[in-house]
């Protein structure tokens, strides 16, 4: 009965047939003839016989051509297969997603988002009454939305800003936030560029749009991230470089390739973590009062299909419980503030994944000029 699940009109029709009431609203040509013949006929056979006759009676069955979500409980499906399909970006978004590590136990990936996935799978195990294993898919960030839309993933995480305005983000739903203060920021490495932006900030009386501070500069963004979408909507495409990953942007700048990158626009917490740990030759741009120079404000959330209502309620409750217990704050602190070696954490608590299904991890890509709007 999958067809009737997708098309509510058919569900109502079959229910009517099963009750033996016929179709009495404006269709006497069918009901007068078939009323006494429904009982010995199965609902499916009756429906197949009825459909060709409906247009003859003037009934336009346009609803059959519409697409409706399957009314299936996502949690029941996850419990039955004892596996939850999770997507995560293969490109590093430190400290949310670190580069994959090869350990004695196999390939592992770790980070704040990986710990969140572990918490969700543990909660699913309790809910289902049987072990639920996270099947991790490490794929390009730009492909995460595509695979979710195709039904290959139950959800994905990778420091995704909820509610970014874009046609490509339509049809998806977000959990309650698990991380706040995740807006866009910028970093630069050349003193002349930093001084130029600081001079503009000093003459800014608060009425200048943030993107005007970067006018005339070459800006690097990662493909299909919120920084890329922001640049498409608010900046001159001629001055934007789209990079396959943040490491590709750093490599482009270090190699002195043309055009030279003046600033990198990206997720503020990711850029802040990187300049404190691995990219100390870059500087996080700040305002005069030494507060971060932000271009947007955003919260990070888990991404699901729009019709995954049951799963969304479940993950929202997991995040709520993590917040109420204080564990969510502990997770943020241990990944963002504490000192640690992520390979060691990956070997002890990282999530395993299928290397064969992962794209070339070390092919970090290149940078290219943005397409005209």
Where does the pLDDT of residue 72 fall: very low under 50, low under 70, confident under 90, or very high at 90 and above? Answer: low
Greater confidence, 314 or 292? 314
- Is residue 287 scored above 50 in pLDDT? yes
- Is residue 38 scored above 90 in pLDDT? no
Q: What is the pLDDT of residues 87-101, one digit of tens each?
A: 999 999 999 999 999
Q: How far apart are CA 41 and CA 38, in angstroms?
A: 5
- Is residue 37 scored above 50 in pLDDT? no
Q: How far apart are CA 354 and CA 83, in angstroms?
A: 14
Q: What is the pLDDT of residues 188-241, one digit of tens each?
A: 999 999 999 989 888 865 556 788 889 999 999 999 999 999 999 988 877 999
Q: What is the DSSP letter of 257?
A: P
Instruction: Report yes or no on whether pTM surpasses 0.85.
Output: no
Half-sphere exposure for 320 (CA within 13 Å, toward CB): 8
Q: How far apart are CA 297 and CA 295, in angstroms?
A: 7
Where does the pLDDT of residue 115 fall: very low under 50, low under 70, confident under 90, or very high at 90 and above? Answer: very high
């Amino acid at each position: 009965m999958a067809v009737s699940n997708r098309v509510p009109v058919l569900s109502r029709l079959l229910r009517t047939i099963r009750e033996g009431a016929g179709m009495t609203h404006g269709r006497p040509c069918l009901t007068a003839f078939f009323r006494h013949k429904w009982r010995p006929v199965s609902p499916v056979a009756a429906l197949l016989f009825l459909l060709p006759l409906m247009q003859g009676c003037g009934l336009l069955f346009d609803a059959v051509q519409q697409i409706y979500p399957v009314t299936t409980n996502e949690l029941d499906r996850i419990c039955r297969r004892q596996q939850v399909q999770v997507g995560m970006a293969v490109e590093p978004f430190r400290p949310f997603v670190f580069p994959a590590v090869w350990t004695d136990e196999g390939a592992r990936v770790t980070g704040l988002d990986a710990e969140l996935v572990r918490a969700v799978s543990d909660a699913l195990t309790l809910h289902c009454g049987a072990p639920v294993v996270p099947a991790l898919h490490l794929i390009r960030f730009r492909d995460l939305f595509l695979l979710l839309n195709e039904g290959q993933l139950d959800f994905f995480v990778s420091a995704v800003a909820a509610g970014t305005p874009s046609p490509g983000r339509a049809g998806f739903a977000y959990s309650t936030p698990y991380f706040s203060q995740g807006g866009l920021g910028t970093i630069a490495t050349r003193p002349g560029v930093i001084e130029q932006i600081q001079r503009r900030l000093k003459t800014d009386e608060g009425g200048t749009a943030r993107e005007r501070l970067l006018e005339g500069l070459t800006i690097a963004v990662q493909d299909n991230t919120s920084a890329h979408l922001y640049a498409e909507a608010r900046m001159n495409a001629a001055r934007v470089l789209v990079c396959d990953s943040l490491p590709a942007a750093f490599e482009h700048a270090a190699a002195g390739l043309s055009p030279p990158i003046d600033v990198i626009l990206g997720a503020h917490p990711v850029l802040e973590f990187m300049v404190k740990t691995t990219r100390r030759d870059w500087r996080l741009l700040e305002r005069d009062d030494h507060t971060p120079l932000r271009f947007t404000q955003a919260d990070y959330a888990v991404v699901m299909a729009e019709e995954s209502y049951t799963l969304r309620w479940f993950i929202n409750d997991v995040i709520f419980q993590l917040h109420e217990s204080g564990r969510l704050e502990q997770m943020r602190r241990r990944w963002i503030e504490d000192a640690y070696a992520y390979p060691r954490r990956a070997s002890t608590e990282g999530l395993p994944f299928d290397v064969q299904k992962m794209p070339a991890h070390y092919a970090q890509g290149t940078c290219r000029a943005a397409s005209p709007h």
